[in-house]
Amino acid sequence: MRFSRRIARIKVSPSNRAAQRARDLNAAGRDIINLGQGEPDFPTPEHVIEAAYQAARAGQTRYTSVDGTPELKHAIMEKFQRDNHLAFTADNITVGAGGKQVLFNAFMATLDAGDEVILPAPYWVSYPDMVLLAEGTPVGVPTRPEHGLKLRPQELEAAITSRTRWLVLNSPCNPSGAVYSEHELRALAQVLEHHPQIWVLADDMYEHILYDGRRFATLAQVAPQLAERTLTVNGVSKAYAMTGWRIGYAGGPAQLIRNMAKIQSQSTSNPSSVSQAAAVAALRGPQDIVAGRCAEFQARRDAIAPKLVAIPGLACEKPPGAFYFYVSCAGLIGRTTPDGRILADDETVVLYLLDFAGVSLVHGAAYGTSPWFRATFATSMENLSQACLRIAAAVDRLLPAREGKA
């Protein structure tokens, strides 16, 4: 059988692969602590589950409009107005089977061969492959730790070419947790004002997971002059612990939304009808549960960060948002494992920690930067503390670089 060339362009999601590897090892009897998958460990709120049950009992189990029920679209409009002061009509709203489908639809609807998409690195693992599937060209732009791993206006300007069609801004960022302030977004907007061919995809999936009293800002809100070429993407997965329900959504210009719906009509059609009813309950129901869970994430972050940085060879900052540590492992590169392997890069570091520490992580090259790795703290304090002890013990077993080369 012959397979398409597009399959050769892409890879399986590294974070999904790492999580599946951890599940397989656990099933085989290994004791693996999975810090590789970005999924809240909290249950879906009870009122959301009840809404789904009632919807199913009421017969809401049939096809819906391709890109969302009217009720869910209105709940999303209310959310955008309440949280972001963005005024949309139903024609500006689309709903997909997860935020990933919404992003995919946007790229498929707008990119032609060779069109470029700017991705500040580190970036979410799936952005480049979705761009490649749409025949576009992902353009990773490195960011610097001293700038908080955030894109600077001069770096954006230098990356723009005549083929640039999108800038993707993910705040809070997966994997780094970086959060763009209103001032920083306005500075980027000033650059974009001079390049009217460029659209902005604001991936706000971690909007409600912010720490230390930070306020959230999104580009269409702080730079309304760019609203007509901004797609603001969000979902219920992270804030409401609904990853498996698969509901993502976006607000943007009506013409773009219509073309995204056309793509969806020929792929999956509508998202799950019952999941849509659950999402209405999440968006319209009590929101204090979100803040309470965010406080728990912050407590974990504050307790575990000192333990990580105390491990020789590792370095990281407390993330201002999301629920990941993005850890530099530069101090481990070149060292030798007990079985004689040299740690040549972040992927070999992660494989070593899986084999010798029983901790599953995702290597930084998957996010466009090396040598780093991502570790989620969306798991219990017990798991996190035990993972730090295991990593420290495995690092302590490494031979210094000079001995490994002898």
pLDDT tens digits for range 53-94? 999 999 999 999 999 999 999 999 999 999 999 999 999 999
123: which DSSP letter?
-
Whether the per-residue pLDDT at 404 is higher than 50: the answer is no
Give the pLDDT score at 402: 61
Report the CATH architecture of 60-286.
3-Layer(aba) Sandwich (3.40)
The predicted structure's pLDDT at residue 27: 84
**pLDDT higher than threshold 80 for residue 345:** yes
Q: Over 50: is that where the pLDDT of 403 sits?
A: no
Q: Please give the pLDDT value at position 15.
A: 66
pLDDT in tens, 98-127: 999 999 999 999 999 999 999 999 999 999
Residue 116, strand partner residues: 137, 164
162 has a pLDDT exceeding 80: yes
Query: pLDDT averaged over the chain?
Result: 95
* Structural contact between residues 141 and 174, judged by C-beta atoms closer than 8 angstroms: no
Among 30, 41, 40, 42, which residue's Cα sits nearest to residue 360?
30
Q: Tell me which H or E stretch contains 272.
A: none
405 confidence band (pLDDT: 50, 70, 90): very low
The domain ranges of the chain are 5-43+289-397, 60-286
Q: Which of 346, 322, 326, 324 is nearest to 334 (CA)?
A: 346
pLDDT, one tens digit per residue, over 225-279 is 999 999 999 999 999 999 999 999 999 999 999 999 999 999 999 999 999 999 9
* pLDDT at position 22: 77
Count of Cβ atoms closer than 10 Å to residue 116 Cβ: 21
The pLDDT value given to residue 351: 93
Mean pLDDT over residues 123-134, rounded?
97
Nearest partner of 281 among 308, 315, 247, 311, judged by Cα: 247
Mean pLDDT of 321-330: 98
Could you tell me the pLDDT band of residue 30, with boundaries at 50, 70 and 90?
confident
Cβ–Cβ contacts within 10 Å for residue 162, how many?
7
The model's pTM is 0.95
CATH superfamily of 5-43+289-397: Aspartate Aminotransferase, domain 1 (3.90.1150.10)
What burial letters (b/e) apply to 76-99, b meaning 16+ CB within 10 Å?
bbebbeebbebebeeebbbbbbbb
Query: Does residue 318 surpass a pLDDT of 70?
Result: yes
